Structure 1
């Protein structure tokens, strides 16, 4: 003879909304699916700081600055150059392409922006950004890099 625990009867009126007693006596409950919002890389404050830095960089220098954050793939330089070429004024554009997961930073300049931004200045900006990224400060690194590039490019002519 088998021994076990007796199943107690459940009063359906005591169940929460969305729960029922099935024919077998089991309680089945429906739960609302609540998708989690994707985690964003920046807080609203960091986004505001980044937006301000981009705006100030463009106003001060007369060049167009933008930031791409995402995967660049195995040919990161080629992908960054494609992104740069798709901008409105590629000759006057400076693109900071950052792929944190791949640990890649690319700065792409156009004809006019390259004339005003020396490769040495861009390398120093990358080194500064990478130092911040290593400390876990993605937004701070981007803002710092933008400021350095703005100082290097100087005021609009």
Structure 2
């Protein structure tokens, strides 16, 4: 498999290769997968959190399924998982405990709305790219500059 190939889900393990950020059996082309993987790398650098995407059929209880997939990631407490089932029109965003400190429900809802607006016009890669970038920017914390205790306040 080349770097841009979609990772096929193994029968018992939908996250067959946890080191690849895009998993599943979705309709993305190799170019689109590369585009999504680039924004995931950007998100990791900006937010300092691991991001992953699963594209494919979800179980009837999509939230429980997304939570199980999230728990299978290498560092679930810090991770953000986006699960998309295009056929069932399902989108789930799961954040671990540490990630949730930076990405609360309002930020995730806004990113979901951004993604869904692209999904409606059948732009899965564009929606994922825009939504993940939005999540990364929301989770970004500017470095704090501290003055030494010997300096007087202004």
Same-fold call, TM > 0.5?
A: yes
Q: CA deviation at 1:137?
A: 0.2
Q: Higher Cα Rg: structure 1 or 2?
A: 1
CA distance, structure 2, for counterparts of residue 143 and residue 126 of structure 1 = 11
> What is the CA-CA distance between 1:141 and the residue it aligns to?
0.3
Matched-pair contact (CA < 8 Å) for 1:61–1:156 = no
Poorly superposed stretches of 4+, deviation over 4 Å: none
Structure 2 partner of 1:58 = 44
Cα distance in 1 between the residues matched to 2:72 and 2:120: 30
Write the mapping of 1:84-95 to structure 2, written as runs, cut at 5 A. 84-95=70-81
- Show structure 1 runs of 5+ residues with no match: 1-38
Q: Partner of 2:77: helix, strand, or coil?
A: helix
1:101 maps to which residue? 87
1:69 aligns with 2:55: yes
Q: 2:134 aligns with which of 148, 151, 155?
A: 148
Q: Secondary structure of the residue that 2:110 maps to in structure 1?
A: helix
Over the residues paired in the alignment, what is the CA RMSD in angstroms? 1.6
**Residues 70 and 98, structure 1, Cα contact 8 Å, conserved in 2:** yes
Q: For 1:53-81, what per-residue CA distance to the aligned partner results, in whole angstroms no more than 9, with x for missing partners?
A: 01110111110100000111111000000
Change in Cα spacing, 1:77 to 1:136, as seen in structure 2 (3 Å) is same
Structure 1 residue 118, shift from structure 2 partner: 1.5
Partner of 2:99: 113
With the length of structure 1 as denominator, give the TM-score of the two structures: 0.72
Q: Which runs of 5+ in 2 are unaligned?
A: 1-24, 144-154
Tell me the TM-score normalized by structure 2: 0.73
Aligned residues: 119
